[in-house]
């Protein structure tokens, strides 16, 4: 094999790689129908593009975000169950899009293209966690998120949810809850911040168990203490004004 | 007062007095249990990563030593001996790579790629350098991958650090270098070939530089063919490659023009000044 033959072969491999990553098709619909092309039988990756599907996913994620952001508005607190319901419907679209994404690359090369969907996956984890929190005020488990998104919880079984992505999404939830605590006070719901505080504290002690490396997850985790602080301040403000008496939990604060 | 309140903010909660009115964090709650398993999972992953980084470093060091050894090849009369010695060294490197392959059994190689990539590139550089000296041609990816298939037979050394993580081990392990690692390794190889060229002139070897020049041109053509289809690192190496090629081409030029005039024993002097000149020019541009 001559040198130039080798390089021609390598160039072919690199171009095929780019096909997987890039948007080459014409104006994509961007909707839920992001080309469900089957993988080629010879095991090669079909040149349907990861980026295109990821863009569609991002679109759905934005729609869900807009929907759940509604809870911060004054009237939004009454409609939480309805909003969650709607968001759940949108996650159906996410599941179809995830199915499409799975066909774009060989299952055993997940981490090769991980960077492409990392961001959107973290956001979707956050959205799922937020919806589950609003519904039941508990932390969504990794398995449950995977189920909501239509993917697997562990690596052996195919397209999965990486643990770091899950944890990142949960950290985003923490800052969203800090915001929710503030806004629920404005909306006159004085008991919610106390419940959020308990939840966040538990989350914080959960994260304390982890030995994080000096990576992006660690940086996100470093932000958690500010969320904890923010919520504590809200609880403090409520306590010194005796407003937490109206809350149903505890009620041990004497004037 | 609020001062004391603020100070305790980052303490562990169960000690804070303000917690009394809230329910304490239950260490056996669902959330805490799942975070304990996350801790375990992350620690396992980080440990594996660190072990791979260490292996990669060892591979890098040993490969570099092999390259240095191979540079002695041209100047030493006992060429055969040096080649044999380099083969022994590369075998040792391959045993390390076998450990890497064992670590990666059942894992996604790309997940840990960043840990092992530098070592693999250095190995590719060493093995392709040796291959060039032996055969005067470029080793292919397939050839490299073939050498990185290990079977259970050559298990003289018990890998006590690595094997305990897998209960049942397959009989063969293999590691496939990625095309990009291969390209980067080959790009590094050209730097070594440039050094080889200059030093072979110093030894009064007139033919090798021309041969090397030809070979480097082929590789350079190959890289320009790939151009910007490859990742960023490859394009970055292209610049260095161009410089190496220029040095070798200039050396050949000098040999051609002045070679007939200069007595062989003085060639080394001519080249030492010539290469300095090139270096200075590069510094200016």
CB atoms within 10 A of CB B50: 12
Q: Model confidence over A61-86: pLDDT tens digits?
A: 999 999 888 888 877 777 888 889 99
B134 and B194 co-located in one domain: no
Classify residue A161 by its DSSP letter. -
> Nearest CA to A191 among A228, A137, A243, A236?
A243
pLDDT at A198: 93
> Residue A176 annotated as binding?
yes
Which among B39, B113, B222 is the nearest to A6, CB-wise?
A: B222
pLDDT at B207: 84
Q: Model confidence over B169-213: pLDDT tens digits?
A: 557 888 889 899 999 999 999 999 999 988 888 777 788 889 999
pLDDT at A238: 92
CA distances from B80 to B74, B84, B85, B126, B207 (A): 11, 6, 9, 17, 20
B148 and B212 co-located in one domain: no
Count of alpha carbons within 13 angstroms of residue B76, beta-carbon side: 12
Q: Is B47 within the bounds of a domain?
A: yes
pLDDT band at B53 (very low <50, low <70, confident <90, very high): very high
Q: How far is B252 from chain A (nearest CA, A)?
A: 21
pLDDT at A221: 94
Domain boundary among B162, B177, B192: B177
Domain containing B264 equals 179-284
**Record: contact A236-B32, CB cut-off 8 A:** no
pLDDT at A5: 87
- Position A214 pLDDT exceeds 50: yes
> How many domains does one find in chain B?
2
- Position B220 pLDDT exceeds 90: yes
- Position B20 pLDDT exceeds 80: no
Q: Phi and psi for A21 in degrees, rounded to 5? A: -80, -35
Set of chain B residues whose Cβ sits within 8 Å of the Cβ of A141: 30, 34
**In b/e form, how buried is each residue of A163-200, taking b as 16+ CB within 10 angstroms?**
bbbbbbbbbbbbbbbbebbbbbbebebbbbbbbbbbbb
pLDDT at B72: 85
Name the token pair of A233.
Answer: 């301040």
Count of alpha carbons within 13 angstroms of residue A166, beta-carbon side: 25
Q: How far is B96 from chain A (nearest CA, A)?
A: 23
Set of chain B residues whose Cβ sits within 8 Å of the Cβ of A253: 21
- CATH (domain of B242): 1.20.58.200
In chain B, residues 198-257 whose CB comes closer than 8 Å to chain A: 215, 218-219, 221-223, 225-226, 229-230
- CATH (domain of B114): 1.20.58.190
B150 and B44 co-located in one domain: yes
B54 and B145 co-located in one domain: yes
pLDDT band at A226 (very low <50, low <70, confident <90, very high): very high
For CA atoms B160, B161, B166, B171, the dihedral sign is negative
- Given a contact cutoff of 8 angstroms between Cβ atoms, the answer to whether B194 and B248 are in contact is yes
Mean pLDDT of chain B: 80
B130 and B233 co-located in one domain: no
Set of chain B residues whose Cβ sits within 8 Å of the Cβ of A210: 35, 38-39, 42
Report pTM.
0.78
Considering the four listed CATH numbers 1.20.58.2140, 2.160.10.10, 1.20.120.420, 2.60.120.650, the one that applies to the domain covering A3-9+47-241 is: 1.20.58.2140
Set of chain A residues whose Cβ sits within 8 Å of the Cβ of B38: 163, 167, 206, 209-210
pLDDT at B132: 92
Q: Give me the residue spans of the domains in chain A.
A: 3-9+47-241
- Given a contact cutoff of 8 angstroms between Cβ atoms, the answer to whether B272 and B229 are in contact is no
Percentage above 90 pLDDT, chain A: 51
Classify residue A249 by its DSSP letter. S
pLDDT band at A48 (very low <50, low <70, confident <90, very high): low
Q: Model confidence over B122-144: pLDDT tens digits?
A: 999 999 999 999 888 999 999 99
Q: Model confidence over B233-263: pLDDT tens digits?
A: 888 888 899 999 999 999 888 888 876 565 6
Which among B29, B221, B229 is the nearest to A18, CB-wise?
A: B229
- Position B166 pLDDT exceeds 70: no
Set of chain B residues whose Cβ sits within 8 Å of the Cβ of A163: 38, 41-42, 45
ipTM of the complex: 0.78
- Given a contact cutoff of 8 angstroms between Cβ atoms, the answer to whether A149 and A160 are in contact is no
B139 and B197 co-located in one domain: no
- Position A93 pLDDT exceeds 60: yes
B191 and B263 co-located in one domain: yes
pLDDT at A13: 86
């Amino acid at each position: 094999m001559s040198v130039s033959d080798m390089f021609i072969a390598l160039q072919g491999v690199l171009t095929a790689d780019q096909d997987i990553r890039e948007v080459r098709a014409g104006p994509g619909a961007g909707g839920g129908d992001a080309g469900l092309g089957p993988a080629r039988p010879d095991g090669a990756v079909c040149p349907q593009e990861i980026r295109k599907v990821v863009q569609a996913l991002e679109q759905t994620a934005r729609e869900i975000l807009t929907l759940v952001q509604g809870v911060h508005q004054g009237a939004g607190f009454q409609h939480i169950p309805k909003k969650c319901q709607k968001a759940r419907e949108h996650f159906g679209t996410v599941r179809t899009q995830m199915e499409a994404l799975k066909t774009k690359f060989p299952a055993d090369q997940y981490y090769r293209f991980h960077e492409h969907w990392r961001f959107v996956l973290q956001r979707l984890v956050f959205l799922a966690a937020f919806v589950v929190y609003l519904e039941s005020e508990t932390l969504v488990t990794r398995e449950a998120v995977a189920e909501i998104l239509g993917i697997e919880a562990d690596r052996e079984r195919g397209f999965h949810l990486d643990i770091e992505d899950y944890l990142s999404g949960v950290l985003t939830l923490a800052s969203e809850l800090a915001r929710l605590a503030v806004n629920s006070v404005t909306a006159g719901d004085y008991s919610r911040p106390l419940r959020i505080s308990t939840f966040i504290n538990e989350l914080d002690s959960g994260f304390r168990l982890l030995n994080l490396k000096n990576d992006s997850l660690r940086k996100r985790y470093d932000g958690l203490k500010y969320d904890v602080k923010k919520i504590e301040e809200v609880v403090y403000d409520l306590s010194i004004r005796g407003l937490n008496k109206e809350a149903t939990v505890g009620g041990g604060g004497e004037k | 007062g609020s001062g004391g309140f603020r100070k305790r903010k980052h303490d562990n909660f169960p000690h804070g007095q303000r917690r009394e009115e809230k329910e304490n964090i239950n260490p056996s709650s669902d959330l805490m249990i799942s975070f304990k398993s996350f801790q375990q999972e992350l620690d396992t992953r980080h440990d594996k990563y660190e072990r791979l980084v260490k292996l990669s470093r060892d591979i890098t060091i040993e490969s570099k030593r092999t390259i240095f050894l191979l540079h002695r090849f041209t100047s030493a009369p006992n060429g055969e001996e040096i080649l044999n010695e380099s083969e022994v060294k590369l075998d040792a490197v391959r045993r390390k790579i076998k450990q890497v392959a064992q670590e990666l059994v059942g894992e996604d190689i790309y997940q840990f790629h960043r840990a092992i990539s530098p070592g693999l590139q250095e190995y590719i550089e060493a093995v392709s350098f040796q291959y060039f000296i032996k055969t005067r041609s470029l080793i292919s990816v397939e050839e490299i991958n073939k050498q990185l298939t290990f079977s259970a037979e050559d298990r003289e050394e018990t890998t006590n650090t690595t094997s305990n993580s897998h209960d049942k081990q397959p009989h063969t392990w293999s590691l496939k270098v990625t095309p990009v690692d291969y390209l980067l390794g080959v790009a590094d190889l050209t730097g070594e070939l440039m050094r080889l060229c200059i030093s072979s002139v110093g030894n009064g070897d007139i033919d090798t530089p021309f041969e090397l020049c030809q070979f480097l041109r082929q590789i350079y053509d190959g890289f320009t063919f790939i151009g910007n289809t490859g990742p960023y690192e490859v394009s970055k190496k292209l610049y260095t490659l161009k410089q190496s090629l220029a040095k070798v081409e200039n050396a050949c030029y000098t040999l051609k023009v002045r070679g007939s005039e200069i007595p062989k024993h003085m060639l080394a002097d001519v080249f030492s000044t010539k290469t300095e000149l090139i270096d200075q020019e590069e510094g200016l541009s």
